[in-house]
Amino acid sequence: MPINENTLEQAVIAQLQGNGYEYLYGPDIDRDYHEVILKDYFETAMYKINPKITVDIVGEAYKTIRNLGLLKLEDMNAAFHKYLIEGVPVNYRVSGELRTYTVKLIDFAEPERNEFYVVNQYTVIEYKNKRPDVLVFVNGIPLVLFELKNITNEEITIENAYKQVKNYQMDIPSLFYYNAFNVISDGLDTRMGTITSDFTRYMVWKSENGEKPEEGGLNYFSVLLNGVFPKARLLDLIRNFIVFQNSKGRTIKIIAGYHQYFAVRKAVERTRNALEEHSRKVGVVWHTQGSGKSLSMVFYTGCIVSNPEFNNPTIVVLTDRNDLDNQLFGSFVSSSKLLLRQTPKQARSREHLKELLRVKAGGIIFTTIQKFEESSEVLSERSNIIFMADEAHRSQYGLDGKLDRETGEWKYGMAKYMRDSLPNATFIGFTGTPIDFDDRSTVEVFGEYIDIYDMTQAVEDGATVPIYYENRTAKIKLNEELLKKIDAEYEKMAGEASETAIEKSKSDLSTIEAIIGSKERLSLLADDMIAHYEDRQYVLTGKAMIVCMSRRIAINLYRIILEKRPEWKQKVKVVLTSSNQDDEDWHDIIGNKAYRDGLMLEFKDDTSEFKIAIVVDMWLTGFDVPSMATMYIDKPMKGHNLMQAIARVNRVYKDKEAGLVVDYIGMAAELRSALSQYTKRDQDKIPDLGQALSIAIEKLEIMRDMFYGFDYSDFFGVDDSVRLAVIANGVNFALGMEEDEQKSFIREATALSQAETLCRSMLETRLKQEIEFFKCVKAGICKTAGRMGITTNEINARIMKLLEQAIEQDGVYNIFAEAGKKNPEISILSEEYMEKIRRMKHKNIAAEMLRKLLEDNIRVFARTGVVKSQLFSEKMQKLLKMYNNRLITSAEVIEELLNLSKEMTEAYKAGDEKGLSVEELAFYDALVSDPEVLRKMQDKVLVEMAQELTELIRKSRTVDWDKKESARAYMRTQVKHLLRKYKYPPEKARGAVDIVIKQAELMSSNIETGVVNYDFHSGDNSLMVAEETTPYHVNEKL
């Protein structure tokens, strides 16, 4: 049995039917194709789940969701989501009194009371006529779309499914007003995302019921269907795990990933247990940085505050710094409208916090840890307070006291102050870095781990990108003596309990700071950073961060960089808070808070000139710029502070392969130590960049072996024209390889490109240039052979610019520019064009270009003529088989392909002599596909038949006729009548009918349906097939 898209479609339907969904075949539903909601099903469901609702109220509710009255798709989707969650308010009058009935669109409390349908081949007519593969309807509303691709077709990837969904959003946008999320799949690679998700944010769902994903697993098709589409689960996701946020003036819709969903559900259950047992400890959720921890906190809060069994608790959200408080608060506020059902508040002071806690229930309050150090006074004795800590680390939350040897005073960790202030609260912690459980105080405060989502899993899932490490201490000649001093001082900076102590620790490093901050060293540092950055500035958007040891070093390094690169004034900025102790001439560099807020927005703008941020402490936690790929570290850090800082470069962004951390201070040991606290799988997950270098050298050796015997030494010369000629010759050489060897070359060249992107700064100039040669050859093969879907944005911008400037002169053929052109339609396959192909110096390139051209033109035939397209396709395949088996040379295959091209051009024009249009010629070919017919019938009769047949098909064709058995039967009957009328040879009629129907299907798909919704059943005079006046002759050969 052949495996294709329909196989996958049927598998989706079968699995959803297994979950209790009712199946409907789209073309069999009697409906208006311009409407996306199944109105009859909607109305039936509304009566079922809304007690005592009236016909008028149902009608008003339908009108409200049918006419959302906004302009942007994402805004209409958000407006509908609000109705979906809160219900549709409808005003009505009883005895003159105005009342409001809130119509539930879905019964979330009792999922089984809703009507779930899985529908395939559901045509929608709007700007265009489109038919998505599978839709899930709940109560007549289309909530989920599936777009499926054939796993056996190497040319079609899951990214094609994503692009098709995006096109649907433009062509039939009304379908997406109601869309909760989409699923794209080829049967193996299966992902889900929302209407605003880019391709990188379509995520795999890897767990059915919260179990750990299978290591190295590939097939998550069934896992997603079983993990997301049980009725109660689907409604839970829609109600509690979707948020809308504003990003750069645009509405963004986000749905939880599997790790967020199951962690939150576990946390809610643990909260229920903690409240019942009065243990006051829920536990700790450890989800690695960059994997959406803040949103998990939002989802958890939403589940708690909306669930009546928790009796409307007060949620206190704790952070350890003001800037983190503001960032997390922003995430909550942007999600507050629907998910949290209230607006969070920030406590300005301890007294304000106490005031906010005076309420009996409810509220979401943000506060910083410092407010609990100010006093041991009880803030509230209520037990319905859930205390949620962001970044729960032992240095902040220890219960044990420490003796201050200078004052003799016992000092306690923040946990004691929190416990004393809120003696009956229940505690839960969220962290992006693991907690050292050797210190049991963390367990005493929060409890054991609830859920772990480690670095390895996040990278495997695509929730974050891997981080690579590059040590460049030797480049700036940092001596061993100093390195030992820095190592000794690390302990002084770690584990301090207060800001004051941390500042004291920093001041103790003044000796080291003097050496690290010396003008000579900073000059060397600036030179190396500039060289390194200039080599990487074309990676993504060029965003990078430099982390300095002190404010003075940051300012001085900034000035030195500008001395060396004065044109970088808008490119590099210092981001520091101001202080009364600052030097006077720092004032204009640092600015005020408004200036820093502006810098934050500017740095987050991928298109801005601001590319390099120099920081000390700011922006190292809770600050996300997904496109940032490089961090330069010249500051001693350790433990969770180090891990949080380097996580700034692990965010997912478009074609980002990995983040790079460049070490100028010698922190390799501290990095290993910090990783030792992670899961065993994570302990080697920030590899030294030397590994990427090793991979690059290994792949380069493979490239050299594959090009053995080909001289590309002229590529390293100074003449651009010669260099382009070498590239063209290289592409020609590669195209002469066997097909499997070509695929291997592309695969290995891709791996080389990825490794080179990471370790470019470690490569010598000659090696960089050699790698560029192989990247250009790979690009040429992909473009010439039409394989550009394999990877994106791999070719360095400067190289592409050079290639695009090339022209066909001095024997240099610009394969890149030619292959990038839209292929000529059949009508312009002129003798001149074919002669140009024949004269090409590079025969393998010519053969590939001609193959691609003719394949495209055969597809043009396939849209209009089934008979001729099959004929030409068979000839093409036979030729290519001979060529691939090297039974004919590239020059001979070019001649044969040119002959085929000439045949196609003549066939395309054949109708002109007979006075037939393209469509009429296609039906003529269908009628004479058996040569015997031409001997038995006059040609002019066949021409007349073709014309009448074309008109008959045009008139009889209805929307989805080819999907409805009754419509197909009607069409076949009409064709049979016409064949009888012209006395078509009866023994040939069966085959002719089959071919004509196939041709009619092609014609139907090739002509856009107009705004009129044709229906051959409508009207009093239309005959149903079963009512035909001339009965079928069962035994006749027709």
pLDDT grade, residue 847 (50/70/90)?
A: low
Q: According to CATH, where is 3.40.50.300 located in the chain?
A: 256-453, 469-687
Any residues with CB less than 8 A from the CB of 77 and at least 6 apart, and which?
Answer: 176, 177, 178, 179, 195, 253
Say if CB 124 and CB 131 are below 8 A apart: yes
- Separation of alpha carbons 262 and 254, rounded Å: 16
Looking at residue 621, its pLDDT comes to: 80
Task: Indicate the Cα dihedral angle 103, 105, 109, 115, nearest 10°.
Answer: 130
pLDDT at 223: 92
Residues 433-456: b if buried by 16+ CB within 10 A, e if exposed: bbbeeebebbbbbbbebbbbbbbb
Three-state SS at 624: coil
Q: In sequence order, what are the beta bridge partners of 386?
A: 315, 426
Alpha helix (H) residue ranges in 494-550: 499-507, 510-516, 519-536
Do residues 120 and 9 lie in contact, with contact meaning Cβ atoms separated by under 8 Å? Answer: yes
Pairing of strands 141-148, 134-138: antiparallel
3-state secondary structure of 434: coil
CA 236 – CA 885 distance, rounded (Å) = 57
Q: Which of 983, 994, 906 is nearest to 944 (CA)?
A: 983
Confidence of residue 112 (pLDDT cuts 50, 70, 90): very high
Cβ atoms of residues 157 and 149 within 8 Å: yes
Check whether 974 has a pLDDT greater than 70: yes
- Give the separation between CA 46 and CA 370, rounded to whole angstroms: 52
Backbone angles phi, psi at 120, to 5 degrees: -115, 160
Chain mean pLDDT for the chain: 78
Rg of the chain over Cα atoms, rounded to whole angstroms, equals 34
DSSP-assigned letters across all residues of 846-897? HHHHHHHHHHHHHHHHHHH-HHHHHHHHHHHHHHHHHHHTTSS-HHHHHHHH
DSSP secondary structure string for all residues of 759-797: HGGGS-HHHHHHHHHHHHHHHHHHHHTT-TTS-SS-S-H
The CA angle 1002-1006-1011, to the nearest 5 degrees, is: 125
C-alpha 528, offset from chain centre = 35
Average pLDDT over residues 888-915: 68
Q: What is the pLDDT of residue 36?
A: 96
Q: Please check whether residue 114 is in contact with residue 231, taking contact to mean a CB–CB distance below 8 angstroms.
A: yes
Q: Which residues pair with 253 in a beta bridge?
A: 244
Label residue 810 left, alpha or beta by phi (over 0 means left) and psi (-120 to 50 means alpha).
left
Do 112 and 234 meet the contact criterion of CB atoms below 8 Å apart? no
Mean pLDDT score, 179-196: 93
Tell me how long the chain is: 1038
Determine the pLDDT at residue 824.
Answer: 37
Helix, strand, coil percent content, the chain, rounded in steps of 5: 55, 15, 35
Residue 1020 confidence (pLDDT)? 34
pLDDT of residue 802: 31
Rounded to two decimals, the pTM is: 0.71
Rounded CA separation 158/163 (Å): 9
Tokens 């070719």 — which residue? 795
Could you give the CA distance from residue 464 to residue 291 in angstroms, rounded to a whole number?
A: 6
Query: Where do we find the tokens 């990003």?
Result: 247
Say what the pLDDT of residue 657 is: 79
What backbone phi and psi angles, to 5 degrees, belong to 712?
-115, 25
State the pLDDT confidence band at 798, using cuts at 50, 70 and 90.
Answer: very low
Q: What is the 3-state secondary structure (H, E, C) of 931-993?
A: HHHHHHCCHHHHHHHHHHHHHHHHHHCCCCHHHCHHHHHHHHHHHHHHHHHCCCCHHHHHHHH
Domain 5-246 - what CATH class?
alpha beta
**Residue 719 gets which letter from DSSP?**
-
CB atoms within 10 A of CB 672: 12
**DSSP secondary structure code for residue 812 in this structure:** B
Between 917 and 855, the more confident residue is: 917
Judge whether residue 637 has pLDDT over 60.
yes
For residue 864, is pLDDT > 80? no
Q: Tell me: the pLDDT tens digits for 76-95? A: 999 999 999 999 999 998 88
From the list 299, 320, 253, 248, the residue with the least C-alpha distance to 77 is: 253
Task: Report the pLDDT value the prediction gives residue 593, as an integer from 0 to 100.
Answer: 86
Of the two residues 1016 and 619, the one the predictor is more confident about is 619
Question: In this structure, how many other beta carbons lie within 10 angstroms of the beta carbon of residue 762?
Answer: 17
Q: Which residues, 6 or more positions from 869, have their beta carbon under 8 angstroms from its beta carbon?
A: 858, 859, 861, 862
Distance CA 212, CA 709 (A): 50
Q: Which CATH superfamily is domain 256-453 in?
A: P-loop containing nucleotide triphosphate hydrolases (3.40.50.300)
CATH of 469-687, one of 3.40.50.1700, 3.40.50.11900, 3.40.50.300, 3.40.50.1820: 3.40.50.300
pLDDT band for 823, please (50, 70, 90 cuts). very low
Lowest mean pLDDT: which of 573-577, 731-735, 789-793? 789-793
Contact 661, 646 (CB under 8 A): yes
First-to-last alpha carbon distance for the chain, in angstroms, is 29
Nearest residue to 630 (alpha-carbon basis) of 532, 726, 514: 532
Mean pLDDT over 444-470 rounds to 83
Residue 809 predicted with pLDDT over 90: no
C-alpha angle with apex 504: 502 to 510, nearest 5 degrees?
Answer: 115
Going by C-alpha positions, the residue among 280, 279, 278 that lies closest to residue 386 is 280
pLDDT over threshold 70, residue 129: yes
Tokens (6 digits) for 856: 């495209």
Rounded percentage of the chain residues whose pLDDT exceeds 90: 31
Q: Is the pLDDT of residue 319 over 90?
A: no
Chain centroid to CA 886: how far? 42
DSSP notation for 235-259: HHHHHHSEEEEEETTEEEEEE--HH
Tell me which residue has tokens 């058995």: 965
Token pair belonging to 66: 């049918």
Bigger pLDDT: 657 vs 111: 111
Taking 50 as the threshold, does the pLDDT of residue 1022 lie above it? no
Q: Is the pLDDT of residue 276 over 70?
A: yes
**Contact at 8 Å (CB) between 992 and 946?**
no
- Range list for CATH 3.90.1570.50 in the chain: 5-246
